[in-house]
Amino acid sequence: MITFSTFGVLAYPNIDPVFLDLGFLQLRWYGLAYVAGILCGWLYGRSIAGNPNLWPDRVSPLTKTEADDFVLYITLGIVLGGRLGSVLFYDFDRYLADPLAIFRVWEGGMSFHGGLIGVVVAIFIFCRMYKVPVWSMLDIASACVPFGLFFGRIANFINAELWGAPTDVPWAMVFPGAGPDPRHPSQLYEAALEGILLFIILRIATHRFGMFKRPRFVGGLFLFGYGAARIFVEFFRMPDVQLGYLYGGWLTMGMVLSIPMLIVGLWGMGFARYHSHASDPRIIAKRAKAEEDAKTA
């Protein structure tokens, strides 16, 4: 059910966070956002793996079957990493006092930076097991992440959480539970920058300029782009209540965690070089098997 608040300059759509209530089971927009992000990322990654024109010597380092298998790894990395990141980076004292709250995921509490670490760990494990080049796998995953970021920020907006700072801009909104002051809809800023704009930038880099042929570049571009977007939006977003502002009254935890992303991103882009897969016998063997399977299917 959607109702509209009459407060503020723009009406805030009060969308019920539960989109389907079966009595014994409630399905929430937040959970649907994770499903949509992973599903879209998987389909996009699958199309990338199946497009030889994007890769050196027209040899993709990943088969479509391997892309299917990777979904389980990345899902576990996102959920476990995101939850642990929230516990360690944002609300450690609360979870220390009530350890069982760590498992009550329906109460909220996920960290992008924690999820990122979880995904990186999942990628290393997957690449070791499936003999896929790590840097190329990181590039593929990076190109797909904006889907999850977009849907996740839309879910934050629906839940009326992570709202922005008070403002008098014409598009300000009054969020339930945030007091009477109109505020920046910072969740929508992040959806636009981290989701839509970053996806477009990555798409141009990969499909127009062929940057998958330079391992590390796409991953570096994602890290730098996300870090820059997150730091920019943090100036318009209220910090977590339990943390507040850090160091001088303007720095936030989101900024602190994003600064290393800028540094690593610049390193990735700066040291990316063209790399041929034609000399890697593992990849050549996998491609030959995939082509043979396709002929006999």
Q: pLDDT digits over 157-179, tens only?
A: 998 988 999 999 989 999 988 88
Provide the residue range defining the domain that includes 248: 146-167+178-292
Contact 108, 95 (CB under 8 A): no
In a domain, 258, yes or no: yes
Please indicate, yes or no, if residue 284 is contained in any of the structural domains.
Answer: yes
> What pLDDT does residue 8 have?
45
Query: Which of 22-36, 72-86, 132-146 is modeled with the greatest confidence?
Result: 132-146
Residue 5: predicted pLDDT: 52
Mean pLDDT score of the chain, rounded to an integer?
87
- Judged against a pLDDT cut of 80, whether residue 152 lies above it is answered with yes
Give, as one character, the DSSP assignment of residue 245. -
Evaluate the CA torsion angle 211, 126, 68, 223 in order and state its sign.
negative
Q: Considering the domain boundaries, does residue 267 fall inside one?
A: yes
Q: What residues contact residue 68 under an 8 Å CB cut-off, 6+ apart?
A: 42, 46
In a domain, 241, yes or no: yes
Q: How many helices (H) and strands (E) does the chain have?
A: 11, 4
**H-type helices in the chain, by residue range?**
29-49, 64-85, 92-97, 112-130, 134-158, 186-190, 198-203, 217-234, 247-250, 253-270, 281-296
Tell me the binding residues: 153
In-domain check, residue 92: no
Query: What CA–CA distance (Å, rounded) separates 233 from 242?
Result: 19
234 domain residue, yes or no: yes
More confident residue, 225 or 3: 225
Q: Which of 14-23, 167-176, 199-208, 226-235 has the lowest mean pLDDT?
A: 14-23
Asked if the structure places residue 272 within a domain, the reply is: yes
Is residue 53 included in any domain, yes or no?
A: no
Q: What is the pLDDT of residues 82-105, one digit of tens each?
A: 888 887 777 777 777 877 777 766
Residue percentage of the chain with pLDDT more than 70: 88
Report the C-alpha gap between 45 and 49 in whole angstroms: 6
Q: Report whether 143 contacts 202 (CB < 8 A).
A: yes
- Confidence band of 143 (pLDDT split at 50, 70, 90): very high
Residue that wins the pLDDT comparison between 226 and 243 = 226
pLDDT at 279 over 80: no
Report the range of poorest mean pLDDT among 128-137, 184-193, 287-296: 287-296
Count of the separate structural domains present in the chain: 1
The pTM for the full model equals 0.86
